A and B are shown apart, each in its own frame.
Chain A
Amino acid sequence: MKENMKKIAEMTRRSISEVFEKMFYIFLEPSDGENCGYDMEAVIGFEGPVRGEIRMLISRNIVKKMVLNMLNLKEDEVTPHNIEDCSKEAVNMVAGNLFGKLDNSEMFDLSIPTFNTKYSGLSSMENTCIMDFDSDSGTVGVVVTLSDK
Chain B
Amino acid sequence: MSFNVLIVDDSNSMRAVIKKVISISGFKMDRCVEASNGLEALEALTGNWVDVIISDINMPGMNGFELFERLKNDNLLKDIPVIVITTESSDERMQDAFKLGVKGFIKKPFQPEEIRGILYKVIGVNDEGEYEEDSGDDEAFDF
Is B one of A's binding partners?
yes
Task: Establish whether residues A112 and B58, one from each chain, have CB atoms under 8 Å apart when the complex forms.
Answer: yes
Alpha-carbon distance A146/B76, docked complex (angstroms): 45
Q: Which residues of the other chain, B, contact A105 by a CB distance below 8 angstroms?
A: 90-92
Size category, A interface: 20 to 34
Binds B, one of A30-38, A92-100, A133-141: A92-100
Number of A-B contacts (CB under 8 A): 68
Task: Establish whether residues B87 and A93, one from each chain, have CB atoms under 8 Å apart when the complex forms.
Answer: yes
The residue among B13, B16, B59, B90 with the most chain A CB atoms within 10 A of its own CB is B13
Task: Establish whether residues B13 and A71, one from each chain, have CB atoms under 8 Å apart when the complex forms.
Answer: yes
Q: Which residues of the other chain, B, contact A92 by a CB distance below 8 angstroms?
A: 58, 87, 108
Q: Which residues of the other chain, B, contact A95 by a CB distance below 8 angstroms?
A: 87
A-side residues, CB < 8 A to B, are: 18-19, 22-23, 67, 70-72, 81-82, 85-86, 88-89, 92-93, 95-97, 99-100, 104-108, 110, 112
B-side residues, CB < 8 A to A, are: 10-14, 16-17, 20, 58-60, 86-93, 107-111
Apart from A70-B17, A82-B12, A92-B58, 11 more pairs, CB < 8 Å = A82-B13, A85-B12, A86-B13, A89-B14, A92-B87, A95-B87, A97-B108, A100-B107, A106-B90, A110-B58, A110-B87
